[in-house]
Structure 1
Amino acid sequence: MKTRTLILSVIAASLISTTALANNDKNSLSLSTQPVPLATAVSPEFYDFSNNFPAPNVEALQNNIPATDEEWNEFVKPRDKVASQRALSLAKSLNVSIEQDSIAGVNVYWVTPEVIAPELKDKLYVAVQGGAYMLNSGFASTSEATMIAATMQIPVIAIDYSKAPQFPAPAARNDIIDVWNELIKIRPADSMVMGGTSAGGSLSLAVTQKLNEQLIATPAALYVGTPGVDMTMTGDSRFINEGLDHILGSWRGMSSAMIDAYVGDLELSDPVVSPINGSFEKFPPVYLITGTRDLLLSDTVRLHRELRRTGVTADLNVYEGQSHADYAIALGTPESQEHYQALSEFFYHYLVNE
C-alpha cells in the first residue's frame, strides 16, 4: 500500500510540475479560442429562446457610456418607459391588479393576484426589482412581483426605491428599510418574505444585514436571484462568461459604469454595496438562483458558501445555459416555470409550515 501511494504521489507531482512549466504566470492565463455553441442540455423552448436572443456586443458596451446625470437620465427614461409598458401588459395577461401607494415617503405598488391562496391571505411578499440600481422605476418595478404574485397566489408589495445616479447608495437600501419598518408596525415580520433578482437580490441582502445590525426583525426568508455581491472585478465568471452572458455581456464598460454611479462616494468593497463583505449571522433561509453563463455566477456561488459557512440555510439552484436572470425573461419556458414553482414552495415552507 505504501509503495502504491508513493507511486501515485510521484505521478501527481510530475503532472503538477508539467502544468506549472506550461503556465508560468497563473495571473495571465487565456481562455480557449474554441467557439462556444448554444447549450443543448436544456428544454427545446429555452434553446429557441437562447437562439433568438441577440448575442452581446462586448466592444460596444465599452463605448458611449453616459458621463453626466443628464446623459444617464436620457439613457434610463426610454428603457423605463418600455419596461413599464411590458410590466402592465404582463399584469393584464396574468390577471394581476396593481395599485400605487406611498409608504414612508417611498413609492410602492400593491400587486394582487386574481386568486389568493387561503393560507397566504395574511402573508406578504416584499418585492425588490432589479435593474442595476438605476433602471425599472415606476410600474417597471412590478415585473417580477407580478410573476411571483400569480405563481404563488400571494399578496405582494413592490418597492420603487430611489435610483442612481441622483440617489447613490445607501439611498435605495434606506428606502426599503423605511418601508419595512412601517410594515412591521401592522404585521409580524415572520409573515413576510423579501427578495428579487440582480440588484433586487443584492439590496435584499444589504437590507437584512442592516436590520440585523439595528436588532430589527427580519423577513421569514429571502429570495436572492443572481446578485452582484461584490462590486469589484472579482470572481471567475466575471472573466469566463464575458461575451457568453447575453444579458449583461461584460462587467467592464456599461455595467461597471452603472455600478460606479450607484456606489457614489463609497468604496467598491464597502459592505453597504458589496454585501459579501458584511455579516451573515442571524440570516433567514435564502433561495439562490444563477446559470452557467451568468456573469454573476461566481457572486452567487461565493454567497452560497458564505451563508453555509455561517450556518444559514441556503438553497442554491444553478441552471444550464442560462445567462443573467434568464429565468425572469424566458417566461413560459419549462426552466422559468420550474424556478418560480420552486421559489413558491420555498417561501410557502417558511411562511406556512414553520
Structure 2
Amino acid sequence: MKSSENKTAILSKESDYLKEIYQVWSNRMTANPNMTIEDLRSLFDEWEKPTFEPEDVTYKTDQVGGVDCLWAYPVGCDKTKVLIYTHGGGFAVGSAASHRKLAGHMAKALGVSAVVLDYRRAPENPFPAQLEDAAAVYQALLASGIKAKDIGTIGDSAGGNLAVASVLKFRELGLELPGYVIAFSPWLDMELTGSTLESNADTDVFITVPLLQGMIGMFIGDDSTKVRDPLANPLHADFNGFPPLYINAGGAEVLLDDARRLHARAVDAGVQATLSVVDGMQHVFPFLAGRAPEANEEIQRIAAWYRAL
C-alpha cells in the first residue's frame, strides 16, 4: 500500500514555532526533573498554542457514554459522521482543550463532526482505562444511530496508539468496526525498540527515551508482560480485517520507526494503509494547522484520502 516520505528542501519559517515550543518544554523539564504530574499537565496544555483557531467551527462540552468530551462542529458538517479523537500526552497529560483546535481542523477538512475525549489519564487510571473510555464512547455513538462505517478513530502520539488500539478493543468486544483510522506520530512500542529512537535523537527536540520510560511507568506500571499486550503495544496486534489506515509522522522525530512498523504490519495483513512522512518535521507536526504550510498540506492529503475511501 501507499507510502511516501515527502522530502522538503526548505522548511517553512512558520514550522519553527512547534520546534521552539518543544525546546522550551524540554528546557523546563530538564531544569525541573521532579516536576509534578499537575505541573506536567499545565505544561502540556500549551500544546494548543501552535494551532491556529479554525474558522467556522463551534464547540460543545458534553458527556458521551459517561465520558467527558468536547464536540467540534464545523459549520455545515455532516453530524451523522463522527471522528473520535483521542489526544496525545503519554496517556497521562494533554486534554480535550489542548487538542480541540486540531480536531476542529480535521473535522472541517473531512466535513464531519469530531468528539474529543477527556479520557481517564494515568497514573491515577492506568491501562486499560483509556481504552474502556474509548469503547464506551463508541458504543454510545452506535446506540445513538451513528453507523460504524461513518465513524473514524483519530489520535496523536499516545492518542495515536489509542486510535489504533481502541479498534482492536472494539473487535475484542464483538462490535462492528469503524470505517477508518488516522494516526499522527503514533507512539506504539512500549518496549522502546525502534531504530529511530537512536538515529533521530539529535533531530527530535522533544521526545527522549527517559521521557518515554517515565510515561510507560505511569501507563502500565511494573508489569513487564503488558509491554507486549497488543492493546498497549499494537505492534504485536493482528491487523487482519482492520479498517483503512492513514499514518503520518515527521522525518525528524524519534518515534518515526513506530509509524513505519505500523504501516508494514498493516500492509502485511492486507490492510489499505497509507504512510506519509514529511522530512524534517517534528512530533505531531499537524499541530501547526492553520499556521504552517506543511501541516495544512498534510491535512489536505488526509482529506483527499478520506474522500477516496
Task: Give me the whole-angstrom Cα distance separating, in 2, the residues matched to 1:284 and 1:96.
Answer: 28
Which residue in the other structure is 2:80 paired with?
Answer: 122
Which residue in the other structure is 1:95 paired with?
Answer: 56
Q: TM-score, normalised by structure 2?
A: 0.87
Task: Give me the whole-angstrom Cα distance separating, in 1, the residues matched to 2:38 and 2:20.
Answer: 29
Which residue in the other structure is 1:145 paired with?
Answer: 103
Task: Give me the whole-angstrom Cα distance separating, in 1, the residues matched to 2:98 and 2:11.
Answer: 28
Is this contact kept in 1: 2:230–2:236, CA < 8 A? yes
Q: How many residues align?
A: 300
Which residue in the other structure is 2:211 paired with?
Answer: 254
Which residue in the other structure is 1:42 paired with?
Answer: 10
Specify which of 166, 171, 194 is matched with residue 207 of structure 1: 166
Unaligned stretches of 5+ residues in structure 1: 1-38
The one-letter amino acid of 1:326's match is: F
Specify which of 227, 234, 237 is matched with residue 193 of structure 2: 234
Which residue in the other structure is 1:320 paired with?
Answer: 279
The one-letter amino acid of 1:100's match is: T
Is this contact kept in 2: 1:43–1:334, CA < 8 A? no
- Greater relative contact order (CA < 8 Å, ≥ 6 in sequence): 2
Kindly tell me: are residues 304 and 276 of structure 1, through their superposed partners in 2, closer, same or farther at Cα, counting changes over 3 Å? same
Map of 1:62-101 to 2, 5 A cutoff? 64-66=32-34, 71-80=36-45, 82-83=46-47, 86=49, 90-91=52-53, 94-101=55-62
Task: Give me the whole-angstrom Cα distance separating, in 2, the residues matched to 1:339 and 1:225.
Answer: 11
| SS of match in other structure, 1:321 | coil
The one-letter amino acid of 2:251's match is: T
Q: Say whether residues 1:329 and 2:288 are aligned partners.
A: yes
What's the offset of the Cα at 1:42?
Answer: 3.1
Map of 1:201-350 to 2, 5 A cutoff? 201-248=160-207, 250-251=208-209, 253-266=210-223, 267-329=226-288, 331-350=290-309
Kindly tell me: are residues 55 and 341 of structure 1, through their superposed partners in 2, closer, same or farther at Cα, counting changes over 3 Å? same
Specify which of 138, 159, 174 is matched with residue 117 of structure 2: 159
Which residue in the other structure is 1:31 paired with?
Answer: none
Is this contact kept in 1: 2:82–2:113, CA < 8 A? yes
The one-letter amino acid of 1:241's match is: N
Q: Deviations along 1:5-29, whole A, 9 cap, x unmatched?
A: xxxxxxxxxxxxxxxxxxxxxxxxx
| SS of match in other structure, 1:268 | helix
Unaligned stretches of 5+ residues in structure 2: 1-6
Q: Deviations along 1:204-233, whole A, 9 cap, x unmatched?
A: 111111212222111101001111111112
What's the offset of the Cα at 1:149?
Answer: 2.0
Task: Give me the whole-angstrom Cα distance separating, in 2, the residues matched to 1:143 and 1:130.
Answer: 14
What's the offset of the Cα at 1:56?
Answer: 7.8
Is this contact kept in 2: 1:223–1:288, CA < 8 A? yes
Highest CA radius of gyration, 1 or 2? 1
| SS of match in other structure, 1:245 | coil
Task: Give me the whole-angstrom Cα distance separating, in 2, the residues matched to 1:143 and 1:247.
Answer: 21
What's the offset of the Cα at 1:180?
Answer: 0.3
Bigger fraction of residues in strand: 2
Kindly tell me: are residues 57 and 131 of structure 1, through their superposed partners in 2, closer, same or farther at Cα, counting changes over 3 Å? closer
Identical residues among aligned pairs (%) = 26
Task: Give me the whole-angstrom Cα distance separating, in 1, the residues matched to 2:15 and 2:254.
Answer: 19
Is this contact kept in 1: 2:170–2:177, CA < 8 A? yes
Give the CA RMSD over aligned residues: 2.7
The one-letter amino acid of 2:57's match is: V
Is this contact kept in 2: 1:46–1:335, CA < 8 A? no
Task: Give me the whole-angstrom Cα distance separating, in 2, the residues matched to 1:43 and 1:75.
Answer: 29
| SS of match in other structure, 2:240 | coil
Is this contact kept in 2: 1:190–1:219, CA < 8 A? yes
Q: Say whether residues 1:176 and 2:141 are aligned partners.
A: no
Task: Give me the whole-angstrom Cα distance separating, in 1, the residues matched to 2:18 and 2:151.
Answer: 35
